[in-house]
Structure formats: C-alpha cells, structure tokens
Amino acid sequence: MKEKKFEFQYEVYDDVGELKKEDAELLAKARAVTKQAYAPYSNFFVGAVAKLKNGQTVSGTNQENASYPVGICAERVLLGNAATNYPGISIDTLAISYDSKDVPSDHPISPCGMCRQALLEYETRTENPIRVILAGQQGKIYVVSTIKFLLPFAFTPEELL
C-alpha cells in the first residue's frame, strides 16, 4: 500500500483593504451582484463576477425554483454567460460572494461540487487556470490560483478517451 497526500496553498486576506485594487474591484462587483440573485426559498444569495482575458466582465447569480432541482447556481449562470457572449475567451479571475437573511456573511464559501466540476471543465477547455476569490460581504478572503485545487480526483475529458 502507498499513501499519498494532496495539499495546496491559497492566500488568506483579513479584509478587502489588503487585496490588489483590481481584485478588490472584482470582489466589490460580486458582493453587489448578490442583490440580483433570486433565492426566496433558501434566502442565500450568491453572486459571481469574472474578469475575462479580454478585459470584459461577466456575472451570474443563483436562480432558485419552487421545484428545487430546476434552480441553478451563480457560477454556472456566469459560465453560460461567458461562453455565449465571449466564445473561446478564458476567465482570468472569478470572484464569488454571498449574502443571507439567515446567517452571517462574514467568511468565504466555496462553490458546490457541481459548480467545481463545471468550472474545471471551463478551465480545461480554455487551457487557462482560473484564479478564484472567495468571500462573504465582509471578513476574511481566500484566493485560490486554480480551480484544480478545489476538485482533487476530478472527472476530466481524458477519462472519456
């Protein structure tokens, strides 16, 4: 038997004032766009904003539905917007934030498993690592250099060859 270990590094900032100006601006947009989320059932409003390699930005918010499986997460809404409006353009940096009527929005959250898989597919097909900024409306901020770090043992297109 062999034992292996998976580790990765990420940056931790105490607040938005420590970020580079460009990252702080992207995070501010993600925090603001949470107000456009449709989350009447969970009261958990997620916003995602990406800066593309061509300098454009795209956004997405979670969209819930009374039939729970029909809802879609902010990250996948964003990916659809990016792929449709800017085909073939890779994402440089993605900021994800949330707000809630029920719990404090004072720490980073990470995308769900389905979104991690979708983000990894986008990263793979555009052949560009996606930096991810994770934060609530206030408090600590995490910056991860690639989606690959958020999904070890990922199912990739190579599995189908």
B/e letters for 12-36, b = 16+ CB within 10 Å, e = fewer, are: ebeebeebeeebbbbbebbbebbee
Q: Give CA–CA dist 68/26, Å, rounded.
A: 30
Q: Let me know if 22 is a catalytic residue.
A: no
Per annotation, catalytic residue among 18, 75, 123, 127: 75
Give me 69's structure tokens: 């499986």
Q: DSSP string of 55-124?
A: S-EEEEE-B--SSGGG-B-HHHHHHHHHHHHSTTPPEEEEEEEEEESSS---S-----HHHHHHHHHHHH
SS3 per-residue string spanning 6-31:
CCCCCEEECCHHHCCHHHHHHHHHHH
Catalytic residues: 75
